[in-house]
Amino acid sequence: MKPFLADPFDSDSLHEECGVFGVIGVADAASFVALGLHALQHRGQEAGGIYAHDPEQGFNGAHRFGYVRDNFTKAEVISTLPGPLAIGHVRYSTAGTKANTAIRDVQPFFGEFAMGGCAIAHNGNITNATALRRELIERGSIFQSSSDSECIIHLMARSIQRNLAERLKDALRRVEGAFSVIAMTRTKLIGVRDPLGVRPLVLGRVGDDGYALASETCALDIIGAEFVREIEPGEMVVISPGKVESSRPFAPAGSRFCIFEHVYFSRPDSIIGGRSVYETRRQIGVELAREAPIEADLVCAVPDSGTPAAIGYAQESGIPFGMGIIRNQYMGRTFIEPTDQIRNMGVRLKLNVNRALIQGKRVVLVDDSVVRGTTSRKIKDMILDAGAAEVHFRIASPPTAWPCFYGVDTPDRGKLLAAQMTPAEMRDWIGVDSLAFVSLDGLYRAAGEAGGRKNDCPQYCDACFSGDYPVAPSDQIERGFQMLEGSETAHAAE
């Protein structure tokens, strides 16, 4: 099978790498997982997989390239995944070779142990995976994929603990970086977050005795599950029908949840830390309007992720909000094989300017981020071609100047525009009348931290903006990555 094509017109965005979902204590659990993964499709659109367990038929799995709707809504697939317990995963590539993704890299991964089988699905990135993989191979492990997540299975195999939950604890104590892991044995559903809680994981109740684990609350909504709580940083839950057991396998550490989940990754209808993602994004727009006011006639969003912030900017500034850019909702990621001519059309295949609204106006464009800046330039050109008098960019995140090593597909630092230019230089390079980013303190205030960022002990992981990495990226340092001089993690790494 030919690998599913990444969107050739979406190379200037940051991508979350994975979504995970699991359910126990329901009939036809795989169908519930398929629905949950559909709700999490925004977290990974390259491929997906489901593993299920049935007391009579044992473990069964299916892995496919492409959308959940195209693969796991078919009766001939779901019928091969019977049982009351299942987990699933949607992905982009992180560790491993993105251009040559193979079906063997698609999670969940499965291992057969002396005490039974276990499937795991991992959201995040293991920052010491290269060293672990080298050690495991030298000791005889035979890897089947290029994924960093497979290290967890091999570490479990080498544990001497007597049950699979304890073996998973052993394995994850060796792992550095970010992980929210969902695992399943023959009778248990297990969820674990790393000690800093960088990646999300929530618990829901399904019916009388069923439970679900998911990356976001929106995936609980689609199956009619009741949100119970977030799995806490450093917590493991072992779930059987009607019962949840909690433990703390790791040394205590302060929470450093990924702040970019608030900005972009999570769906706006999800709840994070008791707070609506939509409301946080709207409040980012309010902060932007206070920090970077401008005289203009119209506020427009770069859809869809910029919309809540644009609404907030318009409300705070008093400038009317309008749908100046319309997104083509029906352009699938596979679309057509992109010839040079098609590729040069770029964002015009996805976005179109509402010319009648834009013409003659001073326009404030609100977007979630600037990565390479190439898409920003193309959108600016489209707005000017439609007759706008002025174009002002307002960005609902601080400048993205550092790569993420915790599960986000960020380019090398040399390809990040904010790592090479000042905001004034970026403004001139993009070719807009003005450019402003929300401040880091403003972003924290929008996320509910009234006092802004606590620089001595940040409340979130904001390494992509600040260069302050809460976990030293060991593999990257080994390859020569230079951390921000003077940062606490850099000193620890030395």
pLDDT value of residue 337: 44
pLDDT value of residue 200: 97
Residue whose tokens read 């679900």: 212
Pick the CATH number of 280-450 from 3.40.50.2020, 3.30.365.10, 3.65.10.10, 3.30.1370.100: 3.40.50.2020
Q: How far, in Å, CA of 308 to CA of 313, rounded?
A: 9
- Please tell me whether residue 275 adopts helix, strand or coil conformation: strand
Closest C-alpha to 410, from 398, 421, 402, 419: 402
pLDDT value of residue 99: 44
pLDDT value of residue 92: 78
Phi, psi of 374 (to 5 degrees): -65, -40
Torsion angle defined by CA atoms of residues 211, 213, 216 and 217, in that order, rounded to the nearest 10 degrees: 10
Which CATH fold topology does 15-255 show? Glutamine Phosphoribosylpyrophosphate, subunit 1, domain 1 (3.60.20)
Token representation of residue 59:
């473990």
pLDDT value of residue 304: 85
Q: What is the pLDDT along the chain (494 residues), one digit of tens a residue?
A: 333 333 433 456 665 569 999 999 999 999 999 999 999 999 999 999 999 999 999 999 999 999 999 999 889 999 999 999 999 999 976 544 444 568 999 999 999 999 999 999 999 999 999 999 999 999 999 999 999 999 999 999 999 999 999 999 999 999 999 999 999 999 999 999 999 999 999 999 999 999 999 999 999 999 999 999 999 999 999 999 999 999 999 998 889 999 999 999 999 999 999 999 999 999 999 999 999 999 999 999 998 889 999 999 999 999 999 999 998 876 554 344 445 455 455 666 778 999 999 999 999 999 999 999 999 999 999 999 999 999 999 999 999 999 999 988 776 898 999 999 999 999 999 999 999 999 999 999 999 999 999 999 999 999 999 999 999 999 999 988 988 876 656 544 54
- Please tell me whether residue 236 adopts helix, strand or coil conformation: strand
**How many C-alpha atoms does 485 have within 13 Å on its Cβ side?**
0
- Which residues are tagged catalytic? 18
H or E stretch at 182: strand 177-184
How many other CB atoms are there within 10 angstroms of residue 319's CB atom? 20
- Please tell me whether residue 58 adopts helix, strand or coil conformation: strand
Burial degree of 343 (CB within 10 A; 0-12, 13-18, 19+): exposed
What are the residue ranges spanned by the domains of the chain?
A: 15-255, 280-450
Burial 33-53 (b: 16+ CB within 10 A, else e): bbbbbbbbbbbbbbbbbbbbb
**How many C-alpha atoms does 298 have within 13 Å on its Cβ side?**
21
* Inter-helix orientation angle 374-385/423-430, to 10°: 50
Q: How far, in Å, CA of 254 to CA of 56, rounded?
A: 44
The predicted model scores a pTM of 0.91
Alpha helices in 329-404 (DSSP H): 340-345, 355-358, 374-385
Listed in sequence order, the residues at least 6 apart from 149 whose beta carbon sits closer than 8 Å to its beta carbon are 95, 107, 109, 120, 122, 126
pLDDT value of residue 95: 44
